[in-house]
Amino acid sequence: MPANKSAERRIARLYPLLRDHFGFQHWWPGETRFEIVVGALLTQNCAWVNVEKAIANLKNADALALAAMRELPRERLEALIRPTGYFRQKAERLTRLIALLADDLGWDGVSPLKRDTGRFRGELLALSGIGPETADSILCYGFDRKVFVVDAYTKRMLARLPLAVADDYETIRELFERAICGELDGSLSTFKDFHAQIVMLGKHYCKKSAPLCGECPLKRTRLCTYST
């Protein structure tokens, strides 16, 4: 069996184990498509609890909609998203993102956007301050595209599994996408939930320091041989 195919099968085995342990996660939290897009950008270098504070501020100001946010003075937008940190930088990035989506792509802030996923991804990545993780979060959760989001939890988990995988975002993303489409059901739901399951694993067991290996659901199946 080719090494990459073996890796895909091992990756695919993780998902049902994690889902059975944590339950389906119903990600991404957000009441509207626009809220999810905004949240995906605001969560850069920020704990989600602080994103929730900023989202609440925007809702209370009736500014969590495309047209309303565009009308906000920059200083007001910065004040509303201040809990997320780097608020001036993020306000600038939000402004550029909304300009791309509304002016260049004709998005109304509500409807799905008909655009080739690869091209759409490239346009997001061309924006200053939008890296692969943010772009893929916007695509997968905001616009229901089958792209896998790789984050620090994913890289940490892979580094501890007995898998020879390069520590490279695109390599890891493509590996997971092949595993989901070739070994699992290939559904959008699985793309979203697999990422959510890995976040749960990282938060509760596969921690950066002092991981709880003895209690980890992957340890019991011997899929992971890492030990502290």
Any domain includes 60: yes
Query: Which residue carries 């997971």 as its tokens?
Result: 176
Range of the domain at 100: 33-109
d(C-alpha 37, C-alpha 74), whole Å:
19
C-alpha 156/C-alpha 168 separation (Å) is 12
CB neighbourhood size of 155 (10 A): 17
Residue 215 lies in a domain: no
Count of structural domains, the chain: 1
Q: Whole-angstrom Cα distance, residue 206 to residue 201?
A: 6
Contact at 8 Å (CB) between 225 and 26?
Answer: no
CATH of the domain at 61: 1.10.340.30
Report if pTM > 0.85: yes
Give the per-residue pLDDT at 1. Answer: 41
Rounded CA separation 145/139 (Å): 5
Domain assignment of residue 39, yes or no? yes
Q: Is residue 167 part of a domain?
A: no
Residue 37 maps to a domain: yes
Angle at 192 between CA 170 and CA 56, to 5 degrees: 110
136, part of any domain: no
Q: Is residue 184 part of a domain?
A: no
Please indicate, yes or no, if residue 87 is contained in any of the structural domains: yes
Q: Among candidates 8, 81, 80, 65, which has minimal Cα distance to 32?
A: 65
- Walk along the chain (228 residues) and give the pLDDT tens digit of each residue: 455 788 999 999 999 999 999 999 999 989 999 999 999 999 999 999 999 999 999 999 999 999 999 999 999 999 999 999 999 999 999 999 999 999 999 999 999 999 999 999 999 999 999 999 999 999 999 999 999 999 999 999 999 987 878 889 999 999 999 999 999 999 999 999 999 999 999 999 999 999 999 899 998 777 888 877
Q: Where are the alpha helices (DSSP H) in 126-223?
A: 132-137, 152-160, 169-182, 188-204
Q: Which two tokens stand for residue 49?
A: 């609890």
Asked whether the beta carbons of 195 and 27 are under 8 A apart, the reply is: yes
Residues 96-114: tens digit of each pLDDT: 999 999 999 999 999 999 9
